[in-house]
Amino acid sequence: MDGIRATLCSRNAHKARELERLLPGWTIEPLEAEGWPEETSTTYVENARAKAQFGREVLGAGSWLIGEDSGLEVEALDGRPGIESARYAPEGAPAIAKLLEELAGVHERAARYVSELVCLTPEGDEVRGSGTLVGRIAEEPSGSEGFGYDPVFVPEGEERTVAQLGDAWKERNSHRARAARALLAALGGALVLVAAGCGGMDRDTKQVLNAFFAGGPVARALGARFPHKPGTLPCVLHDKGVTLQATCATDISLVKPARAVVTLTEAWNHGAQAHTWFFFIRRDGTVQSVIQEGRPAPRR
């Protein structure tokens, strides 16, 4: 598979470029269109869905379409600007100045970034990914990278703003990065079908997975309980002497001629909790990098 070409149903070129970096092997372009619908929904996901559906109206069926909505929620402002973040003030310095003015003299400055992604596949299926980043609002802007409110948003556990931490940090940790990884995990099955054609596992997919599970010690250890083909198997976890029934799922997306993403997910407590590995690998199974999401599963 030569990768996926998708349209971000937004006029924000910053977001299109950021998502392209966050979704390995994808080519993403912003939607050029007139007559955009007003964002009248009360939730991020409804706004994101409306944008993706507008893209379907403009481009027709048969395309990969992504709708995204995000916002900054400030606790001291009762969650504002929230879903109105894009309309709070012109992006950049004007919006930051207005936010800091509203927070003048406020000591409790807890806030969070929220991102919702809704993807419509060429077949019309909907897949979602959600992400949040918790932090606080700084007293003054600092840093030159990122965009939006990044110069005044200090993530939890950090002393610098997102704009100071830089784009490389943001690609690993931002709310949009987390939403993109969740979207990739949810899309795993759909991407396998794209790579393999009409269902089942094609020869390339099988070879790549076999090479991965035969690779380094981490992959070999995980291979003892995860299926060696796309799918889910029952597995068992242990928490303080209590045996938990769980599921171990494998997905793979062949996103470039030389690259793939293997997603391994352990889920327990009836799916309420999960831990996921995203292995970015070469076709020979060699691991290039790995990202983990969620709380590690309990062990003996």
Tell whether 31 is covered by a domain: yes
282 and 161 within one domain: no
Tell whether 299 is covered by a domain: no
Going 284 to 290 to 292 to 298, the CA torsion angle's sign is positive
Active site residues: 69
268 and 186 within one domain: no
Tell whether 225 is covered by a domain: yes
- State the pLDDT at residue 186: 72
The range of the structural domain enclosing residue 258 comes to 201-293
110 and 17 within one domain: yes
- State the pLDDT at residue 188: 60
Domain boundary among 191, 211, 227: 191
Tell whether 23 is covered by a domain: yes
156 and 79 within one domain: yes
Say how far apart CA 5 and CA 65 lie, in whole Å. Answer: 9
CATH of the domain at 154: 3.90.950.10
Number of compact structural domains in the chain: 2
Tell whether 196 is covered by a domain: no
Tell whether 255 is covered by a domain: yes
Domain boundary among 132, 164, 191: 191
286 and 185 within one domain: no
135 and 33 within one domain: yes
44 and 164 within one domain: yes
167 and 263 within one domain: no
3-state secondary structure 217-243: HHHHHHCCCCCCCCEEEEEEEEECCEE
Domain boundary among 145, 173, 191: 191
The CA-based angle 236-292-233, given to 5 degrees, is: 30
124 and 269 within one domain: no
Q: Is 260 exposed, middle or buried (0-12, 13-18, 19+ CB in 10 A)?
A: buried
Per-residue pLDDT of the chain (300 residues; tens, 9 = 90+): 346 889 999 888 888 888 888 887 788 999 988 888 888 888 999 999 999 999 999 998 888 999 999 999 999 999 999 999 988 999 889 999 999 999 999 999 999 999 999 999 888 888 888 889 999 999 999 999 988 899 999 999 999 999 999 988 888 889 988 888 888 777 764 554 444 443 445 677 888 899 999 988 889 889 888 988 888 888 888 777 778 888 888 888 876 667 888 989 888 876 667 888 889 898 888 898 888 887 777 765
130 and 50 within one domain: yes
40 and 135 within one domain: yes
Confidence (pTM) = 0.64
